[in-house]
Structure 1
């Protein structure tokens, strides 16, 4: 099937998922209130503790890129849970009966979650501005920081799409994703500087792509605290490049895997 038809079909599937966000209250709450809660909780709980040394404001600026990275990556799990739910309810079987490109189902699902992450980043940014976060870099640098986070989260959503087709149970997908993503986003430079981590965890954090995504966006936002030591590990020295390399590798591996698993699941 030609590319224009695939894109057209994918846009219809994406629109179906976007409308679902508006119509299902639980998804709407997660999209809007959860990011606000994360920003306020981390800013005033962690920031308040560090603020005893007079660094609360600096920490809030340091913090925001990490919260952005964690939230958009967790947002990518919606892809897996949504696909698993569609398989469980027989929606995928209905798609099979329609004259549409098979790849459009997964493409539309992942594209709709890009829209969800854009909404989340807007809400979180506005909340961050309220608590004192500021973008210290230029406009185009900040735009590149946001784009890098969205592109990396899009790649992660294809991993979740593969898992969603492999394990067609929303509960299992959510639990498995949490077990993997939670430590991945905390053993990183998301919430604390690298030099505060124990030795073995420092090595993991240096090569963790979540660290590089956070470091790159933090640099582009101009939120690196004064006096912060220059990173010595190559991934953090070239954070944007390392993140893009991971993004390409993930897409090259998991786009074919997810589509292959989709064909296997729908042929049963």
Structure 2
């Protein structure tokens, strides 16, 4: 077998390892999925009646309108929630001694990180599917066509992949799992300081400027447009552009950090 074949085989082995960890601790997965669901229920049923009145073009207080508005932000939070677990898992491997064992084995170095990424992607899609399913049960309406759904799935996949690689890098850069659990928290906060829960037009000038130009706003606007069946091309392209930037930086940063730390 050539090098690429060995890398794929070892990556599958590492994926199985991570899936066993996920199956061994189902409570962790439930917590990762439960956090965005908690925010979904909280904002729809506690704040939805009041918040919906401030939506552009809203006829009045309608929780259904607000559910449609905040679902993209909740989906991004679901991705961020899993990314925190990924950073902790990577940091645990780097500080727990398992990497020293892997270095003595004839395995492809890239497979260790790839296994974490693939395992996190599976967890992320489980979380996204659950959140969307609950949103539809609550009354989420969509005018998305098959083409729009394909674009939505593609965008969510790219967002998940980009954030996963970036949080892998954060886990590698962390001196311990505790620090790794704190650094990605920014990803949970950014939807609040963007278009996730309120229109950016309602924010003070300085905060509105930040909200308009931070990465998650075009991502959430792109998801919102695709769900509505009327995506803004500029938002979608900007969302993919931000994901490419975040993902590539995370990937190359992860490779450099892993080579440095695994060699020590």
- TM-score, normalization by structure 2: 0.89
Question: Using the alignment, how far apart are the partners of 1:15 and 1:41 within structure 2?
Answer: 35
Deviates more, 1:104-113 or 1:72-81: 72-81
User: Deviation at 1:101?
Assistant: 0.8
* Paired position in structure 2 for 1:76: 83
User: Which residues in structure 2 correspond to 1:155-170 (within 5 Å)?
Assistant: 155-170=162-177
| Alpha-carbon separation, structure 2, partners of 1:202 and 1:128 | 27
1:36 equivalent to 2:37? Answer yes
- Counterpart mapping for 1:16-31 below 5 A: 16-31=17-32
- CA positional deviation for 1:139: 2.6
**Equivalent residue, structure 2, for 1:213:** 219
| Higher mean displacement: 156-165 or 208-217 | 156-165
Q: Which residue of 2 aligns with 1:199?
A: 205
1:33 and 1:249 mapped to 2: Cα distance? 29
Report what 2:95 is aligned to. 88
Q: Distance in 2 between the 1:51 and 1:256 partners?
A: 42
Tell me the residue number matched to 1:233.
Answer: none
Instruction: Name the CA shift for 1:85/1:106 in 2 (closer, same or farther; >3 Å).
Output: same
Which residue does 1:189 correspond to in 2?
A: 195
Deviations 1:218-263 (A, max 9, x none): 1111177xxxxx9xxxxx7611111211222223322122111111
Supply the distance in 2 between the matched residues of 1:55 and 1:89 (Cα, whole angstroms): 51
Q: Of 236, 246, 255, which aligns to 2:251?
A: 255
Structure 2 residue 138 is the aligned partner of structure 1 residue 131? yes
- Cα distance in 2 for partners of 1:36, 1:213 equals 20
| Shift of residue 177, structure 1, vs aligned partner | 1.9
* Count of aligned pairs: 257
Unaligned 5+ segments in structure 1 are 225-229, 231-235
Query: Counterparts of 2:147 and 2:13 in 1: how far apart (Å)?
Result: 31
Change (3 A) 1:143 1:35: farther
CA RMSD of aligned residues (A): 2.1
Q: Go from structure 1 to structure 2 and tell me whether the alpha carbon gap of 1:171 and 1:263 turns closer, same or farther (over 3 Å shift).
A: same
1:48-90, CA deviations, whole angstroms, 9 ceiling, x for partnerless residues? 3336742221111111111101221232222211010112221
3-state SS in 2 of match to 1:100: coil
Change (3 A) 1:138 1:212: same
Q: 1:107 maps to which residue?
A: 114
Residue 34 of structure 1 aligns to a residue whose secondary structure is: helix
Any conservation in 2 of the 1:57–1:132 contact (CA below 8 Å)?
yes
2:98 and 2:49 map into 1 onto residues whose CA distance is 47
